[in-house]
Amino acid sequence: MSPEDALREAIVSGRLLPNQRLVEADLTRTLGVGRSAVRAALARLEHEGLVEHERNRGARVRLVEEREAVEILEARAALEALAARHAATRAGEADIADLRRILSEMRCLLDRGDLLSASDQNAVLHERLLEIAGHATAGRLISTLKSQLVRFQYRTILVPGRSERSFAEHGRIVDAVAAGDPDAAEAAMQTHLSHVAEALRGAESR
């Protein structure tokens, strides 16, 4: 595993706490690579928004607090709506079948009460939509935004009734894409993610 991936994994998994200092010498030992590699990894992670870096003061794990999480989710919504629009115009028969397959998998997991796996399948659906959209720029931006939100990704699934509503929203997105209706797909994605933001705010303020 590259030092960058190892560090990212350690941060997003929560093994490293927010605001914790990341001393290069320590990371050199922990990751088993030279200091140059560590520095390069830190520089990239800074660009991804996972660490903060002050000159001559080193790097620390960046803390994304609620206000910013909402911002990031808004930006992500705007970009995923764009992607959904593209997906609606480009999806072929096989793509649509694939999306429906993922949906039924989700239905199955929900019926079993496996909320965690359902949430993962959720991510798979979004990923597949991006692939269908074929929009490299949006894809790149969304993936960096998502990595900043990992800490919040499971926070909404315990909100009562959220899973079912989320499933219904995903159904509407897939329907719009299958119908080849860009406007509907964009709108469906937009409302879906705005509901996620709402749920996040609700879950957070408790």
Task: By CB under 7 A, name the binding residues for DNA.
Answer: 21-25, 33-37, 39-40, 53, 55-59
- Minimum Å gap between C-beta 101 and a second copy is 28
Task: Compute the distance between CA of residue 22 and CA of residue 205 in angstroms, rounded to an integer.
Answer: 30
Q: 190, 100 in Cβ contact below 8 A?
A: no
Report the nearest approach of DNA to the CB of residue 36 (Å). Answer: 3
Neighbours of 71 (CB within 10 A): 13
Question: Could you tell me the smallest distance in angstroms from the CB atom of residue 46 to DNA?
Answer: 11
Residue 200 contacts which entry, a second copy, DNA, none (Cβ below 5-8 A, type-dependent)? none
Structure tokens at 140: 């790149």
x-marked contacts with a second copy along 136-175 as a string, rule CB under 8 A: xxx--x---x------------------------------
**CA 139 to the chain's CA centroid:** 11
Task: Pick the closer one to DNA by CB: 29 or 112.
Answer: 29
The 69-108 site mask, x for binding a second copy (CB under 8 A), equals: --xx-xx--xx-xx--------------------------
Closest to DNA by CB, 40 vs 150, is 40
Q: Which of residues 46-65 bind a second copy (CB under 8 A)?
A: 47-48
Residue 138 site contact among DNA, a second copy, none (CB < 5 to 8 Å, cut-off depends on kind) = a second copy
Supply the minimum distance, in Å, between the C-beta of residue 34 and DNA: 2
Considering the complex, state which of residue 28 and residue 117 has its C-beta at the smaller distance from DNA: 28
Please give the DSSP secondary-structure letter assigned to residue 152: G
| Least CB distance to a second copy at residue 190 (A) | 10
State the Cα–Cα distance between residues 41 and 31, nearest whole angstrom.
11
